[in-house]
Structure 1
Amino acid sequence: MTPTRRALLGSAALGVVGALAGCSGASGPEAESVQPQTRGAETDPTVVKPRNPTGESVLLDGSEANDENEPNRIGRELVTSAERADELLVAEAVSDADRERVRSFLDETDYDAETVYVSPAGVRSCERLVIHSVSWQPGRVEYEYCSELRPPDEACEADARVALALLFRLPAALDDRLTGSGSSGHSPCRTTDTEYDVIDGNATVPGNDTALSGADDDGGDGT
């Protein structure tokens, strides 16, 4: 496989750093501080969580088409360039607000120093995910979450499922090779800042105005 431009630049940068360190005799924390941040973790990560109420994929690959000449859905991926980000399409069923949020998130990422990790997920319509942390190392990304009810002023449909796309902005210029990923979480969240004193009508069944509420799932989003 031909090395990517990012990989070549990274190798060249490491060679220069090594030469300088050898000449100056620098070692320890000072020398390590100039190395690329290829491993790390954040407990308050920057992440957007758009949802598709139809249950279909949120993100599509504009660079490829399937047998029906439609874009393929996006799986887990490390987005490492603005060119690749431009190829990601948001499904038409996703709300305008979420579509704008995704586009802005991708456009505002500095791909020389940051990487976007994309992961699909699913949740019941009346629930959302709270992301607790994300960690990364070469070829692998993991995150931790819990799920809770959405606020009372958010409309949802009882017992229906929606699709999510989780987009994390990682403060590291990673290679696009992804060999593994993982997530762990629980439901409901043990603590929450959302107050549920009144939940009276945010959950409905199509054709029925009866108010319902629901909780219990393995994933969700933040809105």
Structure 2
Amino acid sequence: MAPTRRALLGSAALGVVGALAGCSGASDPQAESARPQTRGTEMDPTVVKPRNPSGESVLLDGSEANDENKPARIGRELVTSADRADELLVAEGVSDADRERVRSFLDETDYETETVYVSPAGVESCERLDIESVSWQPGRVEYEYCSELRPPDESCEADERVALALLFRLPAVLDARLTRTGASGHSPCRTTDTEYAVIDGNATVPGNETAIDTWGDDG
């Protein structure tokens, strides 16, 4: 005997309810928030800023280094695995403290859920950078910063520039390919946690925000 119209409508309704029940876990806000995001912004990013007083690169690429080949300097890069992190070398001119910070930072990164963005930078010897935010999406990373004087107990030389390496820990799993990076900054910092009150004649004068350090295409 052919099924009645009521029976067909009832079975269809049960099918819809079953489909919705099967998909309920996919829309769980907690599950979504726990997943690494492929794009986003951190206003207080996890970052280390080792410096090399000699002005030479802070990080070197040890993947092809041998007795005849010196390690090449590291440019802008997304570090996506522990194996790649192990290939990054810290230059000899970097302090032992900064050397240890870099190694610990790379070793403590969970590359199953995180990516490290590495970018070279430069700064006056008596200044330091405060990173205000970092934004990312596939193939693209940008950050914002301000600069301020270092504390008086930090040794520095006026009118000398030093090399920095900025290592950001991004809470996202990104492909290693980079097509565009950027940085924008201002000086001095508008707000600061600096506790010292004495600022000498080398103080940074206020300036306009300037977008710098952009390369690649918009792809």
Other-structure match for 1:190: 190
Determine if contact 2:36/2:171 at 8 Å carries over to the other structure. Answer: no
Determine if contact 2:36/2:113 at 8 Å carries over to the other structure. Answer: no
Distance (whole Å) between structure 2 residues aligned to residue 89 and residue 116 of structure 1 = 15
Task: Tell me: CA distance 1:84–1:95, structure 2 relative to 1, closer, same or farther (3 Å).
Answer: same
Structure 2, unpaired ranges of 5+: 1-18, 211-219
Q: What aligned pairs does 1:97-116 form with structure 2 within 5 A after superposition?
A: 97-116=97-116
Residue 197 of structure 1 deviates from its aligned partner by 2.4
**Rg: which structure is higher?**
2
Q: TM-score, normalised by structure 1?
A: 0.76
Other-structure match for 1:150: 150
2:23 is aligned with what amino acid?
G
Other-structure match for 1:11: none
Other-structure match for 2:167: 167
- Computed over aligned residues only, the root mean square deviation of the Cα atoms, in angstroms, reads 2.6
Distance (whole Å) between structure 1 residues aligned to residue 27 and residue 144 of structure 2 = 29
CA displacement, residues 128-158 of structure 1 (integer Å, 9 cap, x when unaligned)? 0000001110111110100000011111001
Task: Tell me: CA distance 1:213–1:173, structure 2 relative to 1, closer, same or farther (3 Å).
Answer: same
Residue 214 of structure 1 deviates from its aligned partner by 4.6
Residue 194 of structure 1 deviates from its aligned partner by 1.2
1:163 is aligned with what amino acid?
A
CA displacement, residues 34-87 of structure 1 (integer Å, 9 cap, x when unaligned)? 765101111010000000000010000001359x62110000000000000000
Determine if contact 1:127/1:149 at 8 Å carries over to the other structure. Answer: yes
Task: Tell me: CA distance 1:104–1:36, structure 2 relative to 1, closer, same or farther (3 Å).
Answer: closer
Distance (whole Å) between structure 1 residues aligned to residue 194 and residue 161 of structure 2 = 21
1:30 is aligned with what amino acid?
D
Distance (whole Å) between structure 1 residues aligned to residue 174 and residue 163 of structure 2 = 27
Distance (whole Å) between structure 2 residues aligned to residue 26 and residue 180 of structure 1 = 37
Runs of 4+ in 1 over 6 A off after TM superposition: none
Q: Which moved more, 1:141-150 or 1:27-36?
A: 27-36
Distance (whole Å) between structure 2 residues aligned to residue 96 and residue 42 of structure 1 = 29
Other-structure match for 2:181: 181
Structure 1, unpaired ranges of 5+: 1-20, 201-211, 219-223
1:197 is aligned with what amino acid?
A
How many percent of aligned residue pairs carry the same amino acid?
78
Determine if contact 1:125/1:161 at 8 Å carries over to the other structure. Answer: yes
Task: Tell me: CA distance 1:214–1:35, structure 2 relative to 1, closer, same or farther (3 Å).
Answer: closer
Other-structure match for 1:17: none
Task: Tell me: CA distance 1:151–1:109, structure 2 relative to 1, closer, same or farther (3 Å).
Answer: same
Other-structure match for 1:24: 22
Q: What aligned pairs does 1:6-155 form with structure 2 within 5 A after superposition?
A: 24-26=22-24, 29-30=27-28, 33=32, 36-65=36-65, 69-155=69-155
Distance (whole Å) between structure 2 residues aligned to residue 166 and residue 71 of structure 1 = 19
Matched residue SS, 1:38:
coil
1:173 is aligned with what amino acid?
V
Determine if contact 1:80/1:116 at 8 Å carries over to the other structure. Answer: yes
Matched residue SS, 1:41:
strand
Determine if contact 1:52/1:93 at 8 Å carries over to the other structure. Answer: yes
